[in-house]
Protein backbone atom coordinates (compact mmCIF):
# COMPACT_ATOMS: atom_id res chain seq x y z
CA UNK A 1 0.00 0.00 0.00
CA UNK A 2 1.44 3.39 -0.96
CA UNK A 3 1.46 6.17 1.60
CA UNK A 4 0.30 8.78 -0.87
CA UNK A 5 -3.02 8.89 -2.65
CA UNK A 6 -3.15 9.10 -6.45
CA UNK A 7 -3.40 12.29 -8.45
CA UNK A 8 -6.00 12.70 -11.18
CA UNK A 9 -5.81 15.28 -13.89
CA UNK A 10 -8.14 15.79 -16.86
CA UNK A 11 -6.89 16.24 -20.43
CA UNK A 12 -8.82 18.82 -22.46
CA UNK A 13 -8.37 20.29 -25.90
CA UNK A 14 -10.64 23.03 -27.20
CA UNK A 15 -11.52 21.19 -30.38
CA UNK A 16 -12.95 18.05 -31.95
CA UNK A 17 -10.74 15.38 -30.39
CA UNK A 18 -8.52 14.79 -27.42
CA UNK A 19 -6.61 11.61 -28.21
CA UNK A 20 -9.38 9.49 -29.74
CA UNK A 21 -10.00 10.83 -33.22
CA UNK A 22 -13.57 9.53 -33.21
CA UNK A 23 -14.57 11.70 -30.25
CA UNK A 24 -16.41 14.46 -32.07
CA UNK A 25 -18.36 11.94 -34.16
CA UNK A 26 -19.78 10.03 -31.19
CA UNK A 27 -23.54 10.64 -30.81
CA UNK A 28 -23.13 11.66 -27.15
CA UNK A 29 -20.38 14.22 -27.80
CA UNK A 30 -21.87 17.70 -27.66
CA UNK A 31 -19.23 19.53 -29.75
CA UNK A 32 -19.94 22.63 -27.67
CA UNK A 33 -16.28 23.68 -27.63
CA UNK A 34 -17.15 27.24 -28.69
CA UNK A 35 -19.60 27.68 -25.80
CA UNK A 36 -18.17 29.05 -22.53
CA UNK A 37 -20.99 27.36 -20.59
CA UNK A 38 -19.70 23.95 -21.74
CA UNK A 39 -16.26 24.68 -20.26
CA UNK A 40 -17.80 25.96 -17.04
CA UNK A 41 -19.83 22.75 -16.84
CA UNK A 42 -16.85 20.44 -17.28
CA UNK A 43 -14.82 22.38 -14.69
CA UNK A 44 -17.64 21.91 -12.16
CA UNK A 45 -17.95 18.21 -12.98
CA UNK A 46 -14.23 17.63 -12.48
CA UNK A 47 -14.18 19.63 -9.26
CA UNK A 48 -17.08 17.57 -7.91
CA UNK A 49 -14.88 14.55 -8.71
CA UNK A 50 -12.02 16.11 -6.65
CA UNK A 51 -9.63 16.05 -9.64
CA UNK A 52 -6.31 17.70 -8.81
CA UNK A 53 -6.48 19.72 -11.99
CA UNK A 54 -7.64 19.95 -15.56
CA UNK A 55 -5.40 21.12 -18.35
CA UNK A 56 -5.64 22.13 -21.96
CA UNK A 57 -3.19 20.64 -24.43
CA UNK A 58 -2.64 22.99 -27.35
CA UNK A 59 -0.99 23.40 -30.72
CA UNK A 60 -0.70 26.85 -32.29
CA UNK A 61 -1.63 25.81 -35.83
CA UNK A 62 -3.81 23.56 -37.94
CA UNK A 63 -1.48 20.80 -39.13
CA UNK A 64 -0.86 20.93 -42.87
CA UNK A 65 1.96 18.47 -43.49
CA UNK A 66 -0.39 15.87 -44.99
CA UNK A 67 -0.89 16.23 -48.73
CA UNK A 68 0.55 19.74 -48.61
CA UNK A 69 -2.48 21.31 -46.91
CA UNK A 70 -5.02 21.19 -44.10
CA UNK A 71 -7.89 19.67 -46.09
CA UNK A 72 -7.85 16.30 -44.33
CA UNK A 73 -6.85 17.55 -40.90
CA UNK A 74 -9.39 20.34 -40.67
CA UNK A 75 -11.99 18.77 -42.94
CA UNK A 76 -12.24 15.56 -40.91
CA UNK A 77 -11.71 16.98 -37.41
CA UNK A 78 -8.11 16.30 -36.42
CA UNK A 79 -6.41 17.19 -33.17
CA UNK A 80 -6.38 20.97 -32.79
CA UNK A 81 -7.04 23.61 -30.20
CA UNK A 82 -9.59 25.87 -31.87
CA UNK A 83 -9.70 28.28 -28.96
CA UNK A 84 -6.87 29.69 -26.90
CA UNK A 85 -6.73 27.92 -23.49
CA UNK A 86 -5.93 31.02 -21.42
CA UNK A 87 -9.32 32.76 -21.54
CA UNK A 88 -10.95 29.36 -21.04
CA UNK A 89 -9.13 28.71 -17.77
CA UNK A 90 -9.97 32.26 -16.70
CA UNK A 91 -13.71 31.60 -17.07
CA UNK A 92 -13.39 28.16 -15.46
CA UNK A 93 -11.68 29.74 -12.47
CA UNK A 94 -14.78 31.85 -11.85
CA UNK A 95 -17.09 28.88 -11.35
CA UNK A 96 -14.77 26.69 -9.23
CA UNK A 97 -12.83 27.10 -5.99
CA UNK A 98 -10.34 24.24 -5.75
CA UNK A 99 -9.49 22.49 -8.99
CA UNK A 100 -6.15 23.33 -10.63
CA UNK A 101 -6.28 24.90 -14.09
CA UNK A 102 -3.51 24.23 -16.60
CA UNK A 103 -2.72 25.63 -20.01
CA UNK A 104 -0.13 24.60 -22.59
CA UNK A 105 1.99 27.48 -23.85
CA UNK A 106 5.07 27.24 -26.01
CA UNK A 107 8.37 28.80 -25.00
CA UNK A 108 9.39 29.04 -28.66
CA UNK A 109 7.00 31.82 -29.69
CA UNK A 110 6.24 34.06 -26.73
CA UNK A 111 8.44 36.38 -24.76
CA UNK A 112 9.16 35.44 -21.15
CA UNK A 113 7.77 38.76 -19.90
CA UNK A 114 4.42 38.18 -21.57
CA UNK A 115 4.29 34.59 -20.27
CA UNK A 116 5.22 35.62 -16.71
CA UNK A 117 2.61 38.38 -16.76
CA UNK A 118 -0.34 36.40 -18.10
CA UNK A 119 0.36 33.35 -15.92
CA UNK A 120 0.78 35.45 -12.75
CA UNK A 121 -2.48 37.24 -13.59
CA UNK A 122 -4.28 33.92 -14.00
CA UNK A 123 -2.80 32.60 -10.77
CA UNK A 124 -3.99 35.77 -9.05
CA UNK A 125 -7.56 35.63 -10.33
CA UNK A 126 -7.86 31.87 -9.68
CA UNK A 127 -6.52 32.25 -6.13
CA UNK A 128 -3.45 30.11 -6.78
CA UNK A 129 -4.62 27.32 -9.05
CA UNK A 130 -2.68 27.72 -12.27
CA UNK A 131 -0.36 25.22 -13.98
CA UNK A 132 1.73 25.86 -17.09
CA UNK A 133 2.39 22.95 -19.42
CA UNK A 134 5.71 24.05 -20.88
CA UNK A 135 6.19 22.91 -24.48
CA UNK A 136 8.79 23.83 -27.05
CA UNK A 137 6.63 23.05 -30.15
CA UNK A 138 7.76 21.00 -33.10
CA UNK A 139 5.60 21.85 -36.11
CA UNK A 140 6.74 24.17 -38.89
CA UNK A 141 3.11 25.23 -39.30
CA UNK A 142 3.26 26.70 -35.79
CA UNK A 143 6.55 28.51 -36.50
CA UNK A 144 5.05 30.04 -39.66
CA UNK A 145 2.11 31.41 -37.70
CA UNK A 146 4.59 33.41 -35.66
CA UNK A 147 6.42 34.70 -38.72
CA UNK A 148 9.31 32.22 -38.58
CA UNK A 149 10.39 29.99 -41.44
CA UNK A 150 11.10 27.10 -39.09
CA UNK A 151 12.07 26.10 -35.58
CA UNK A 152 15.53 25.79 -34.08
CA UNK A 153 16.73 22.22 -33.44
CA UNK A 154 15.36 20.43 -30.38
CA UNK A 155 18.38 21.08 -28.14
CA UNK A 156 18.28 24.80 -28.85
CA UNK A 157 14.52 24.82 -28.23
CA UNK A 158 15.11 23.26 -24.83
CA UNK A 159 17.95 25.76 -24.12
CA UNK A 160 15.52 28.57 -24.89
CA UNK A 161 12.79 26.93 -22.79
CA UNK A 162 15.05 26.74 -19.74
CA UNK A 163 16.04 30.39 -20.14
CA UNK A 164 12.39 31.39 -20.52
CA UNK A 165 11.63 29.52 -17.28
CA UNK A 166 14.55 31.16 -15.47
CA UNK A 167 13.50 34.60 -16.71
CA UNK A 168 9.90 34.01 -15.65
CA UNK A 169 11.05 32.93 -12.18
CA UNK A 170 13.22 36.03 -11.86
CA UNK A 171 10.21 38.15 -12.80
CA UNK A 172 7.80 36.30 -10.47
CA UNK A 173 10.30 36.50 -7.60
CA UNK A 174 10.70 40.25 -8.10
CA UNK A 175 7.76 41.03 -5.81
CA UNK A 176 7.83 40.09 -2.14
CA UNK A 177 4.48 38.87 -0.80
CA UNK A 178 3.79 42.02 1.25
CA UNK A 179 5.00 44.61 -1.27
CA UNK A 180 1.50 46.02 -1.83
CA UNK A 181 0.79 48.30 1.14
CA UNK A 182 -2.38 50.19 0.12
CA UNK A 183 -2.11 52.58 3.06
CA UNK A 184 -4.60 55.26 2.07
CA UNK A 185 -3.86 57.54 5.01
CA UNK A 186 -0.10 57.61 4.50
CA UNK A 187 -0.47 57.60 0.72
CA UNK A 188 1.76 54.54 0.34
CA UNK A 189 0.59 52.24 -2.41
CA UNK A 190 3.57 49.88 -2.52
CA UNK A 191 6.75 49.32 -0.53
CA UNK A 192 9.26 49.81 -3.31
CA UNK A 193 12.04 48.15 -1.31
CA UNK A 194 10.10 44.92 -1.76
CA UNK A 195 9.99 45.08 -5.55
CA UNK A 196 13.09 44.34 -7.66
CA UNK A 197 14.20 44.48 -11.25
CA UNK A 198 14.69 40.98 -12.64
CA UNK A 199 17.73 41.99 -14.75
CA UNK A 200 17.66 38.66 -16.52
CA UNK A 201 20.35 38.35 -19.18
CA UNK A 202 20.50 34.98 -20.89
CA UNK A 203 21.89 33.92 -24.26
CA UNK A 204 18.45 33.82 -25.83
CA UNK A 205 16.21 35.70 -23.42
CA UNK A 206 16.54 39.05 -21.72
CA UNK A 207 14.08 40.88 -19.50
CA UNK A 208 14.58 43.73 -17.08
CA UNK A 209 11.38 43.74 -15.08
CA UNK A 210 9.95 44.37 -12.64
CA UNK A 211 6.78 42.54 -13.51
CA UNK A 212 3.63 44.62 -13.24
CA UNK A 213 1.83 41.83 -11.41
CA UNK A 214 2.32 41.59 -7.62
CA UNK A 215 3.43 38.24 -6.23
CA UNK A 216 0.80 35.67 -7.12
CA UNK A 217 -0.69 33.26 -4.56
CA UNK A 218 1.50 30.30 -5.58
CA UNK A 219 4.58 32.48 -6.09
CA UNK A 220 4.82 30.84 -9.48
CA UNK A 221 2.45 28.54 -11.34
CA UNK A 222 2.88 24.77 -11.09
CA UNK A 223 5.15 23.65 -13.93
CA UNK A 224 4.07 20.75 -16.11
CA UNK A 225 6.29 19.15 -18.71
CA UNK A 226 5.97 16.30 -21.22
CA UNK A 227 9.42 15.73 -22.67
CA UNK A 228 10.23 12.15 -23.56
CA UNK A 229 13.71 12.41 -25.16
CA UNK A 230 16.74 12.26 -22.82
CA UNK A 231 17.05 16.05 -22.93
CA UNK A 232 13.31 16.47 -22.48
CA UNK A 233 13.39 14.20 -19.42
CA UNK A 234 16.27 16.18 -17.92
CA UNK A 235 14.32 19.40 -18.35
CA UNK A 236 11.31 17.69 -16.76
CA UNK A 237 13.51 16.45 -13.90
CA UNK A 238 14.77 19.99 -13.19
CA UNK A 239 11.50 21.86 -13.59
CA UNK A 240 8.49 19.56 -13.76
CA UNK A 241 6.16 19.32 -10.81
CA UNK A 242 3.77 17.31 -12.95
CA UNK A 243 5.09 15.20 -15.81
CA UNK A 244 2.66 14.07 -18.42
CA UNK A 245 3.59 10.98 -20.40
CA UNK A 246 2.16 8.57 -22.95
CA UNK A 247 3.16 4.94 -22.36
CA UNK A 248 1.59 1.84 -23.90
CA UNK A 249 1.72 -0.59 -21.00
CA UNK A 250 2.29 -0.92 -17.27
CA UNK A 251 5.80 -2.17 -17.97
CA UNK A 252 6.63 0.88 -20.14
CA UNK A 253 5.19 3.15 -17.42
CA UNK A 254 7.39 1.51 -14.76
CA UNK A 255 10.52 1.92 -16.87
CA UNK A 256 9.72 5.59 -17.56
CA UNK A 257 8.81 6.18 -13.90
CA UNK A 258 12.09 4.80 -12.54
CA UNK A 259 14.15 6.64 -15.13
CA UNK A 260 12.50 10.00 -14.48
CA UNK A 261 12.53 9.69 -10.67
CA UNK A 262 16.28 8.93 -10.87
CA UNK A 263 16.77 12.03 -12.96
CA UNK A 264 14.73 14.09 -10.45
CA UNK A 265 17.02 12.93 -7.63
CA UNK A 266 20.13 13.65 -9.74
CA UNK A 267 18.73 17.14 -10.29
CA UNK A 268 18.78 17.62 -6.50
CA UNK A 269 15.05 17.31 -5.90
CA UNK A 270 12.99 14.86 -3.85
CA UNK A 271 11.20 12.23 -5.96
CA UNK A 272 7.81 13.25 -4.55
CA UNK A 273 8.28 16.80 -5.84
CA UNK A 274 7.50 15.54 -9.34
CA UNK A 275 4.23 13.70 -9.99
CA UNK A 276 4.45 11.40 -13.01
CA UNK A 277 1.09 10.98 -14.68
CA UNK A 278 0.59 8.77 -17.73
CA UNK A 279 -2.43 9.35 -19.88
CA UNK A 280 -5.28 6.80 -20.00
CA UNK A 281 -8.58 6.60 -21.92
CA UNK A 282 -11.14 4.86 -19.68
CA UNK A 283 -14.14 3.33 -21.47
CA UNK A 284 -16.72 2.37 -18.87
CA UNK A 285 -19.82 0.19 -19.05
CA UNK A 286 -22.39 -1.19 -16.60
CA UNK A 287 -21.02 -4.66 -17.45
CA UNK A 288 -17.76 -5.81 -19.02
CA UNK A 289 -19.53 -6.68 -22.25
CA UNK A 290 -21.27 -3.28 -22.48
CA UNK A 291 -17.87 -1.65 -21.98
CA UNK A 292 -16.31 -3.82 -24.73
CA UNK A 293 -19.18 -2.95 -27.08
CA UNK A 294 -18.75 0.75 -26.35
CA UNK A 295 -15.04 0.40 -27.10
CA UNK A 296 -15.69 -1.41 -30.40
CA UNK A 297 -18.25 1.21 -31.42
CA UNK A 298 -15.96 4.06 -30.37
CA UNK A 299 -13.05 2.62 -32.32
CA UNK A 300 -15.20 2.13 -35.42
CA UNK A 301 -15.47 5.94 -35.62
CA UNK A 302 -11.79 6.29 -36.42
CA UNK A 303 -10.85 7.55 -39.88
CA UNK A 304 -7.66 6.09 -41.41
CA UNK A 305 -6.92 9.12 -43.57
CA UNK A 306 -7.34 11.46 -40.60
CA UNK A 307 -5.02 9.23 -38.54
CA UNK A 308 -2.42 9.66 -41.25
CA UNK A 309 -2.93 13.42 -41.35
CA UNK A 310 -2.45 13.78 -37.58
CA UNK A 311 0.57 11.47 -37.68
CA UNK A 312 1.97 13.60 -40.52
CA UNK A 313 1.46 16.72 -38.41
CA UNK A 314 3.05 15.26 -35.27
CA UNK A 315 6.04 13.84 -37.14
CA UNK A 316 6.45 16.61 -39.70
CA UNK A 317 6.34 14.19 -42.66
CA UNK A 318 3.83 13.78 -45.47
CA UNK A 319 2.50 10.23 -45.22
CA UNK A 320 0.03 10.80 -48.07
CA UNK A 321 2.83 10.01 -50.53
CA UNK A 322 2.99 6.32 -49.50
CA UNK A 323 0.55 3.54 -50.45
CA UNK A 324 -1.73 2.68 -47.54
CA UNK A 325 -1.00 -1.04 -47.84
CA UNK A 326 2.78 -0.61 -47.61
CA UNK A 327 4.34 -2.19 -44.48
CA UNK A 328 5.67 0.59 -42.27
CA UNK A 329 9.05 -1.14 -42.04
CA UNK A 330 9.44 -0.53 -45.79
CA UNK A 331 8.63 3.20 -45.84
CA UNK A 332 11.43 5.40 -47.12
CA UNK A 333 11.54 7.82 -44.16
CA UNK A 334 14.00 10.35 -42.85
CA UNK A 335 15.77 8.63 -39.85
CA UNK A 336 14.40 11.21 -37.37
CA UNK A 337 10.87 10.63 -38.62
CA UNK A 338 11.38 6.84 -38.61
CA UNK A 339 12.46 7.04 -34.94
CA UNK A 340 9.30 8.92 -33.96
CA UNK A 341 7.23 6.53 -36.04
CA UNK A 342 8.68 3.64 -34.01
CA UNK A 343 7.54 5.39 -30.86
CA UNK A 344 4.06 5.87 -32.30
CA UNK A 345 3.61 2.22 -33.13
CA UNK A 346 5.79 1.07 -30.20
CA UNK A 347 5.38 -2.60 -29.49
CA UNK A 348 3.46 -3.26 -32.69
CA UNK A 349 6.25 -2.99 -35.24
CA UNK A 350 6.98 -6.71 -35.01
CA UNK A 351 3.48 -7.32 -36.31
CA UNK A 352 4.60 -5.51 -39.47
CA UNK A 353 1.66 -3.18 -39.72
CA UNK A 354 0.72 -1.56 -42.99
CA UNK A 355 0.61 2.22 -43.07
CA UNK A 356 -3.20 2.14 -42.92
CA UNK A 357 -3.13 -0.13 -39.84
CA UNK A 358 -0.56 2.09 -38.14
CA UNK A 359 -2.72 5.15 -38.86
CA UNK A 360 -5.81 3.50 -37.36
CA UNK A 361 -3.81 2.34 -34.35
CA UNK A 362 -2.62 5.92 -33.84
CA UNK A 363 -6.05 7.49 -34.44
CA UNK A 364 -7.63 5.16 -31.89
CA UNK A 365 -5.92 6.80 -28.95
CA UNK A 366 -2.53 8.24 -29.95
CA UNK A 367 -0.65 5.70 -27.75
CA UNK A 368 -2.90 6.21 -24.75
CA UNK A 369 -3.98 2.82 -23.34
CA UNK A 370 -7.74 2.27 -23.35
CA UNK A 371 -8.82 1.00 -19.92
CA UNK A 372 -12.09 -0.82 -20.49
CA UNK A 373 -14.55 -2.30 -18.02
CA UNK A 374 -17.01 -1.69 -15.22
CA UNK A 375 -16.25 1.08 -12.71
CA UNK A 376 -14.87 -1.58 -10.34
CA UNK A 377 -12.59 -3.17 -12.91
CA UNK A 378 -11.39 0.23 -14.17
CA UNK A 379 -10.61 1.12 -10.53
CA UNK A 380 -8.80 -2.24 -10.16
CA UNK A 381 -6.62 -1.46 -13.16
CA UNK A 382 -5.81 2.07 -11.95
CA UNK A 383 -5.05 0.78 -8.46
CA UNK A 384 -2.77 -1.91 -9.84
CA UNK A 385 -0.75 0.58 -11.94
CA UNK A 386 -0.58 3.05 -9.07
CA UNK A 387 0.53 0.44 -6.52
CA UNK A 388 3.09 -1.08 -8.92
CA UNK A 389 5.04 2.20 -9.00
CA UNK A 390 4.13 2.75 -12.61
CA UNK A 391 2.91 6.28 -11.86
CA UNK A 392 1.74 8.77 -9.22
CA UNK A 393 -1.70 9.03 -10.78
CA UNK A 394 -3.23 9.58 -14.19
CA UNK A 395 -4.17 12.05 -16.87
CA UNK A 396 -7.68 10.99 -17.79
CA UNK A 397 -8.51 11.56 -21.44
CA UNK A 398 -12.12 11.60 -22.64
CA UNK A 399 -13.37 9.59 -25.59
CA UNK A 400 -16.83 11.21 -25.42
CA UNK A 401 -17.17 14.81 -24.32
CA UNK A 402 -18.15 15.72 -21.67
CA UNK A 403 -19.80 12.33 -21.03
CA UNK A 404 -16.55 10.48 -20.28
CA UNK A 405 -15.80 12.84 -17.39
CA UNK A 406 -19.38 12.77 -16.09
CA UNK A 407 -19.33 8.98 -16.08
CA UNK A 408 -15.82 8.71 -14.59
CA UNK A 409 -16.50 11.14 -11.74
CA UNK A 410 -19.88 9.52 -11.02
CA UNK A 411 -18.69 5.90 -11.05
CA UNK A 412 -14.90 5.39 -10.83
CA UNK A 413 -14.01 8.25 -8.46
CA UNK A 414 -16.32 7.00 -5.65
CA UNK A 415 -14.84 3.52 -6.05
CA UNK A 416 -11.27 4.88 -5.74
CA UNK A 417 -12.36 6.94 -2.72
CA UNK A 418 -13.98 3.88 -1.09
CA UNK A 419 -10.63 2.11 -1.43
CA UNK A 420 -8.83 5.04 0.24
CA UNK A 421 -6.55 5.69 -2.74
CA UNK A 422 -8.10 8.97 -3.82
CA UNK A 423 -9.05 12.07 -1.84
CA UNK A 424 -12.61 12.84 -0.80
CA UNK A 425 -12.00 16.58 -0.31
CA UNK A 426 -9.47 19.21 -1.30
CA UNK A 427 -6.83 19.70 1.38
CA UNK A 428 -6.13 23.41 0.85
CA UNK A 429 -6.70 26.23 -1.55
CA UNK A 430 -3.87 26.27 -4.08
CA UNK A 431 -3.00 23.66 -6.68
CA UNK A 432 0.35 23.12 -4.98
CA UNK A 433 -1.52 22.38 -1.71
CA UNK A 434 -3.52 19.75 -3.58
CA UNK A 435 -0.46 18.18 -5.16
CA UNK A 436 1.58 17.99 -1.96
CA UNK A 437 -0.96 17.38 0.75
CA UNK A 438 -1.80 13.79 0.06
CA UNK A 439 -1.71 12.04 3.44
Binding site for ligand FMN (CB under 6 A): 57-59, 104, 106, 135-138, 226-229, 231-232, 244-246, 279
Cβ closest to ligand FMN, residue 9 vs residue 198: 9
Q: CB of residue 439 vs ligand FMN: minimum separation in angstroms?
A: 28
- Peptide bond preceding 210: is omega within 30 degrees of 0, i.e. cis? yes
Closest approach, Cβ 30 to ligand FMN, in A, equals 22
Compute the least distance from the CB of residue 159 to ligand FMN, in Å: 13
Closer residue to ligand FMN in complex, CB, 232/398: 232
Question: HEC profile for 338-365?
Answer: HHHHHHHCCCCHHHCCEHHHHHHHHHHH
Q: Write down the least CB distance from residue 231 to ligand FMN, Å.
A: 6
H helix intervals, 94-221: 112-125, 140-145, 154-172
Quote the CA–CA distance of 65 and 317 in Å, as a whole number. 6
Decide whether 132 or 408 has the Cβ nearer to ligand FMN. 132
- The DSSP H or E segment spanning 41 is helix 36-48
Angle in degrees, 0-180, between the axes of helices 335-344 and 304-315, rounded to the nearest 10? 130
Provide, rounded to whole angstroms, the least separation between the CB of residue 244 and ligand FMN: 5
Compare residues 45 and 280 and give the one whose CB is closer to ligand FMN: 280
Residue 194 DSSP code: G
Report the SS3 class of residue 232.
helix
Nearest distance in Å: CB 172, ligand FMN: 22
Confirm if 21 and 302 have CB atoms less than 8 A apart. Answer: yes
In terms of CB distance, is 397 or 404 closer to ligand FMN? 397
Q: Which is nearer to ligand FMN, 209 or 227 (CB)?
A: 227
Give min distance, CB of 103 to ligand FMN, in A.
Answer: 10
To the nearest whole angstrom, how small is the minimum distance from the Cβ of residue 287 to ligand FMN? 31
Q: By C-alpha distance, which of 430, 291, 298, 310 is closest to 373?
A: 291
Q: Which residue, judged by CB position, is nearest to ligand FMN in the bound state?
A: 232
Rounded to whole angstroms, what are the CA distances from 108 to 11, 59, 157, 172, 188? 22, 12, 7, 20, 39
CA distance readout (Å), 26 to 12, 164, 295, 302? 17, 40, 11, 10
Compute the least distance from the CB of residue 366 to ligand FMN, in Å.
Answer: 9
- Rounded to an integer, what distance in angstroms lies between the CA atom of residue 404 and that of residue 23? 10
Tell me whether residue 29 or residue 104 sits nearer to ligand FMN (CB atom).
104
Query: For residues 27 and 147, which CB has a smaller minimum distance to ligand FMN in the complex?
Result: 147
Q: How many CB atoms lie under 10 A from the CB of residue 97?
A: 11
Nearer to ligand FMN, 224 or 379 (CB): 224
Report residue 293: phi and psi, to 5°.
Answer: -65, -40
270, 287 in Cβ contact below 8 A?
A: no
| CA distances to 117, 154, 174, 181, 216 from 190, in Å | 18, 42, 13, 5, 15
Find the distance separating the first CA and the last CA of the chain, reported in whole Å.
13
Instruction: Give the nearest distance from C-beta 239 to ligand FMN in angstroms.
Output: 12
Cβ distance to ligand FMN smaller for residue 9 or 356:
9
Amino acid sequence: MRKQQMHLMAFLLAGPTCHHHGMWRHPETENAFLDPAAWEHVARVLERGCFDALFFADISSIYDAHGGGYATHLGRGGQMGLLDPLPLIAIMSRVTQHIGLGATISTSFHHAYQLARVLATLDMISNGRVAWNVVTSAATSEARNFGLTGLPDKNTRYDIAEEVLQACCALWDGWEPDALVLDKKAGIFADVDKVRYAEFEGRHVRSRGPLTVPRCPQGRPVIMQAGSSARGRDVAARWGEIVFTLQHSKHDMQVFYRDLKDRVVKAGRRPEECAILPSLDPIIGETESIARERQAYMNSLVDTELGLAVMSGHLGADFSRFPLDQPITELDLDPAVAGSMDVIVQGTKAANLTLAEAARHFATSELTPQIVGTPESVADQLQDMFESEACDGFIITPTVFPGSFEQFTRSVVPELQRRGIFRTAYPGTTLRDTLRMTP
